[in-house]
Amino acid sequence: IYGVRRYYNGKFANDYYHRGVDYAGGTGSPIIAPAAGRVVLVGRVSQGFRIHGNCVGIDHGQGVTSIYLHMSRINVREGDLVKPGTVLGAVGSTGAATGPHLHWGLYVNGLSVDPVPWRTNGFN
């Protein structure tokens, strides 16, 4: 749930809130781009992304950026242009994940926002 205060080792984390929405899914299930954009980040556990796991970031223009975390597979490269429906990769449990899921984060002008309304209302 977006905005929920994080809880680690029996204690609430100071000033840290969940900045995205988690969707449970089977390992290998496709992760689909919700809107057009340019891939600006491809990060892998092997490159030090130990918390976020394998991840992709997309710049959708006009200050809107989305991130996809804990992926088992990545199908895109930095600089790729994607369309709505492009398969970015697959659901996984890489990084600090307790099971296979997609963490979807959305930022507008660098500020985290709840992505759920964007899913239903679109990116227009």
**The domain that contains 40 carries what CATH number?**
2.70.70.10
Domain membership flag for residue 9: no
pLDDT digit string (tens) for 40-93? 999 999 999 988 899 999 999 999 999 999 999 999 999 999 999 999 999 999
Host H or E run for residue 120: helix 116-121
Record the pTM.
Answer: 0.84
pLDDT digit string (tens) for 85-118? 999 999 999 998 889 999 999 999 999 888 888 8
List the domain range (segments joined by +) for residue 108: 24-121
Q: Count how many domains the chain has.
A: 1
Domain membership flag for residue 1: no
Contacts of 85-90 spanning 24+ positions with Cβ under 8 A: 85/32, 85/33, 86/32, 86/33, 87/30, 87/31, 87/32, 87/33, 88/31, 88/32, 88/33, 88/56, 88/58, 89/30, 89/31, 89/54, 89/56, 90/27, 90/28, 90/29, 90/30, 90/31
Domain membership flag for residue 17: no
